[in-house]
Amino acid sequence: MGFIWFWLVALMIVAYVVLDGFDIGVGILHPFLARTEEERQISVRTIGPVWDGNEVWLIAAGGTLFFAFPLLYASAFSGFYLALMIVLWLLIMRALGIELRMHMEIRVWRAFFDGVFFISSLLLAVLYGAALANVIRGVPLGEDGYFFLPLWTNWRIGPEPGILDWYTVIGGVLALVALALHGALYLAVKTEANLQLRARSAAMYLSVALLGLTVVSLPATIAARRDGLDNYWAHPLAFVVPALVFGALVGIMVFSRKQDDRKAFACSCMYLAMMLVGAAVALYPRLLPSSSDSANDITIQKALSGPHTLHVGLVWWAFGMALAIMYFVIVYRMFRGKVSLEHGGYGH
């Protein structure tokens, strides 16, 4: 059951990053690609019907951690308290930026909420990347399973790191570029005319930057987590995952040049999913490694709930996921196609 729940949580995190990732990417690129009020409205409307539904996967992942791995939930939400509060406020700010910009026909009002939408999206991408890098690198877990992380220390990896160091900064920048590219490709799929052309151009530049950052991040990860390849050497088939990462990057570049926006966006989804799966493979069976003493690692066996909880939870999880998938299929079918301003609200 521990193996099953580990990968179910990983699946929900992948779903959140892939789906809400393009929402965040659209926000990052919003002030740069949308240059007129009409284009800004179209940019927001591309995600208007789906952004709040996409965030359900974040809530679902948190809820699953709560009953499947309560020790991890308690430890992570305590140690990352400052970062989580920042993320919470950024999620609130992003919602305000999306929902309130159209409530007044005042240019300053709309410019203010466009800025809120942009800043909150950018910082969310950086914090998510830094958070994943913190998990991969490890945190200073004590024997009781708890830890405290300052925002930064000496910017080096060691037994007493901060939230920010050279490795987590790489993770934050990588996430920023990856989600911006994801958003650019989504805009290319959903828009037309000049906005689509700018999105395609941005995707070309961002894909080159992402390739360079990905190449840098792999040796950096090995330096930060020296046993990170152990599972790969033990199960060589797992090397398919990094191969798919680079295959997805090549696909993004090739299909972007051919202006096949849908296939390029699908490759971006594959890239994000495989990067997260690769991290999960490297960590398993650890849920949260210790940077000071591996004996203090929070593993699946240490954090796992009782068997009755896990079996009953699996039934309810399957029921809830069936409803969620049905909802997403309906919503994405209803709002498929290009976005226009012909209908009120988010209609297109």
Domain boundaries, the chain: 10-334
Q: Check residue 348 and give its pLDDT.
A: 36
Determine the Cα–Cα distance for residues 160 and 147; give it in Å rounded to an integer.
Answer: 10
The helix (run of H) or strand (run of E) holding residue 116 is helix 107-137
Per-residue pLDDT, 334: 85
pTM (2 d.p.)? 0.91
DSSP lists the bridge partners of residue 249 as none
DSSP 291-324: SS-GGG-EEHHHH---HHHHHHHHHHHHHHHHHH
pLDDT digits (tens, 9 = 90+) for 257-314: 999 999 999 999 999 999 999 999 999 999 999 888 888 889 999 889 888 888 888 9
167-200 pLDDT per residue, tens = 999 999 999 999 999 999 999 999 988 999 999 9
pLDDT in tens, 21-53: 999 999 999 999 988 889 899 999 999 888 888
